[in-house]
Chain A
Amino acid sequence: MRYADFTWHDPIILLQGLGVSLWLFLATSAIGLALGIGLALTRYYRVPVVARLVQVVAEFLKNSPVLVQLFLVFFGLPAMAHINVTPVEAAMITLAGNTAAFVYVIAVSAMEQVGRDQVEAARVFGLTRGQIVWRIIAPQALAFAIGPLIGLAVNQLQVTSLVSVVGVMDLTKVGNILNMRTLKPFVVWTVVGAVYFIIARLIAALGGALERRLRAHAAWAGL
């Protein structure tokens, strides 16, 4: 069957799929990072009720499968709230929420490592809350958190592949389509796997370079 063979068009749709995966990854990482850090601050400032609630939800999200979270948003939310949720929206909500949960845990532990005595010292000198967070805690906490955050990023890139299950046209979904059309699973999944592998190594390499720069800076500042 001629039409079952690979065509010159296939690399292009693979690239399109890759584009969707990368876009989802970057967008949900950015949202998750901002949200996770914001939520971590509720813990740091011991906001009553909210802090506790956030902690429980974060633990819950960390300890349940992303695939099921995705199903809850994509199938469950429309049925319960009578709203329309597109596959991409469901993917965005789920991945951003999941990333936020992991960022929250990393950020909380990083801020705890900074130590409250420094904050108290800063307060004595009359720095405002905003100044303390921005000038005292953030730079040091970032040095502690950067390693785990890079690990998280490599992991979250892989997690984006799950959105193919609800029909988002990401790299894995394109792989599925090519697999069904060409019936050459070894070639298709090897290529798809290789692309993910390369992107993951790229993220790790970029993260490593960033970490070295941050650490060099931290070491210098510490002297």
Chain B
Amino acid sequence: MAFDLTVLVPYLGQLADGALLTAEACFFAVLGSFVCGTLAAFAATSAEPGLRRIAGAYTGLFRNIPFIVQLFFFYFGLPEIGLYIDAFTTGCIALSIAGGAYAADVLRAGILSVDPGVVEAAKVSGLTRLATFRLIVLPIALRASVRPLGSVFINLILTSSILSTITLNELTGAAKIVASTTFRPFEVYFVLLVVYAGLTYLMSLAISLLHRRLNRYMAEG
């Protein structure tokens, strides 16, 4: 069988639908993991040892267990306790929690790199702990963490392909269907690899732009 991409033309719509679903899932996953990561990083850098332990357990656990196992735990486990949510929501939640564990470690490092003197200036001026974190610590830490956070988000895009194993027809799931209807798995999966590589490339471009934009005036020393 010769390598022939034209056989895929009739199925482009189907693949585009899948890509759209992937984009939606990644959008929610990026948001969710950012929120989880920020909360965990706040806990991990707090003065409270109990909070630090909880944050450490969270990142340790979700960084050391394969995502597919986490996904099955939620997908098969949640209905067990009476929580019936659809595959898409389950997938977004699982991605957010797993991505949050990685984002937390990145943000924690960013927070620890913030000049303590700047934090003292905020404290002395009367800002509350939460306001200091929100207005001073987090914005500075984020600027330092744009690139490593970008890597976490790129990994989320790649990991989202695993959502196809819980019956979700995102990009990989849609491709599986196209592969079995056309009997052209090589072409389908080859194109799929290119599409994912393209998506991550776009993401990394966006990250670079954001990094440069946010750090325009941050160069010091």
Residues in chain A within 8 A of chain B (CB atoms): 59-60, 63-69, 71-72, 75-77, 79-80, 82, 154, 157-162, 164-165, 172, 175-176, 179, 184-186, 189-190, 192-193, 196-197, 200-201, 204
**Chain B positions near chain A (C-beta within 8 angstroms):** 1, 3, 61, 64-70, 72-73, 76-77, 80-81, 154, 158-159, 161-162, 164-165, 172, 175-176, 179, 183-190, 192-193, 196-197, 200-201
Which residues from chain B contact A69 at a C-beta distance below 8 Å? 193
Residues of A within 8 A of B65 (CB): 158, 193, 196-197, 200
- Which among B3, B80, B158, B176 is the interface contact of A185 at CB below 8 angstroms? B80
Contact A71–B72 (Cβ < 8 Å): no
A77 to B3, CA, bound (A): 11
Complex contacts, A68 vs chain B, CB 8 Å: 161, 172, 175, 189, 192-193, 196
Q: How far is the CB of B147 from chain A (nearest CB, A)?
A: 15
**Known contacts A68-B189, A69-B193, A154-B64; is A193 also within 8 Å of B158 by CB?**
no
A sample of 17 inter-chain contacts (CB < 8 A) reads A60-B197, A63-B158, A63-B196, A63-B201, A65-B159, A67-B161, A71-B172, A71-B192, A75-B179, A75-B186, A76-B189, A77-B186, A161-B69, A185-B76, A189-B69, A189-B73, A189-B76
* Chain B residues with CB under 8 A of A75: 179, 185-186, 189
- 3 nearest A-B residue pairs (beta carbon): A76-B186, A185-B76, A161-B66
- In the complex, what's the smallest C-beta–C-beta distance from B100 to chain A, in angstroms? 16
A72 CA to B193 CA in the complex, in Å?
A: 9
Residues of B within 8 A of A154 (CB): 64
Number of A-B contacts (CB under 8 A): 126
Nearest chain B CB to A195 CB, angstrom units: 9
Please report the C-alpha to C-alpha distance between residue A159 and residue B165 in the assembled complex, in whole angstroms. Answer: 14
| B184 and A60 contact, CB distance less than 8 A | no
By a CB distance below 8 angstroms, the chain B residues around A158 are 64-67
Residues of the B chain whose Cβ atoms lie less than 8 Å from the Cβ of A161: 66-69
Q: How far is the CA of A201 from the CA of B61 in the complex (A)?
A: 10
Question: Distance (Å) between the CB of A178 and the closest chain B CB?
Answer: 11
Q: A63-B158, A67-B164 are in contact. Are A164 and B189 (CB under 8 A)?
A: no
Which of B80, B154, B200 meets A186, CB within 8 Å?
B80
Bound complex: CA of A62 vs CA of B133, how far in Å? 35
Contacts of A67 in B (CB 8 A): 161-162, 164, 172
Q: With the chains together, A185 CA to B69 CA distance in Å?
A: 11
Contacts of A65 in B (CB 8 A): 158-159, 161-162, 172, 193, 196
Q: Indicate if the CB atoms of B77 and A185 lie closer than 8 Å.
A: yes
Given that A72-B186, A80-B1, A158-B66 are contacting pairs, would A63 and B77 also be in contact in the complex, using a CB cutoff of 8 Å? no
A55 to chain B, nearest CB (A): 14
Instruction: From the candidates A64, A157, A172, A197, name the one contacting B68 in the complex (CB within 8 A).
Output: A172
Q: How far is the CA of A52 from the CA of B140 in the complex (A)?
A: 38
CB < 8 Å neighbour of A79 from B1, B61, B69: B1
Residues of B contacting A184 with CB < 8 Å? 80
Q: Which residues of B contact A186 (CB under 8 A)?
A: 73, 77, 80-81
Q: Please tell me if the beta carbons of A189 and B196 are within 8 angstroms of each other in the complex.
A: no
Q: Which residues of B contact A72 (CB under 8 A)?
A: 185-186, 189-190, 192-193
Chain B residue contacts of A162, Cβ below 8 A: 66, 68, 162
Contact of B190 among A76, A179, A204 (CB under 8 A): A76
| Cβ–Cβ contact B76 & A179, under 8 A | yes
> Which residues of A are found within 8 Å of B68, using beta-carbon distances?
161-162, 164-165, 172
